[in-house]
Amino acid sequence: MKTTVLKLSELSCGHCVASTKKALEAVPGVVSADVTIDKAIVLGDVDAHALIKAVKDAGYKAQLENDDHTIVLNLSDLSCDHCVGTTKKALEAVPGVSDVQVSLNKAIVKGDASPEALITAVEKAGYKATLASAK
């Protein structure tokens, strides 16, 4: 179970907050939603895009508070620019990735993809990766 924090806008009163809370809690997988005028903290196994759509459908705006998470991977077995390009292409193909920077020994990935999915993509491309950090 994960926690997703959304930055909200265009809510101006208690009715707006209640409508947004109801919309978020109706999304399959949501266990609870704590909503204020400018923020929603949602607990559950649910895609952030589904939450943002629910808020939009309720008539308000939402975005991920930390719009892009940054994951740093330590890479090994890369020896040339071709290896870097192959690894970058593999990481860009992972759903949820918005930006990738790759060097011979490190990849910096932005987006909402899981570290496990990124490591698997690197390994399928023929290289090794370990999680250095995630923010």
CATH number, span 70-131: 3.30.70.100
Residues 56-87: tens digit of each pLDDT: 999 999 888 765 578 999 999 999 999 999 99
Write down the mean pLDDT value for the chain. Answer: 91
| 23, HSE (Cβ side, Cα atoms, 13 Å) | 21
pTM of the model: 0.53
Q: Write the DSSP symbol of residue 96.
A: T
pLDDT score, position 17: 96
Q: Any idea where the domains of the chain sit in the sequence?
A: 2-64, 70-131
Is domain 2-64 in CATH 3.90.550.10, yes or no? no
Question: Which residues face 109 on adjacent strands?
Answer: 71, 100
Angle of CA points 107, 5, 37, to nearest 5°: 145
Q: Write the DSSP symbol of residue 89.
A: H
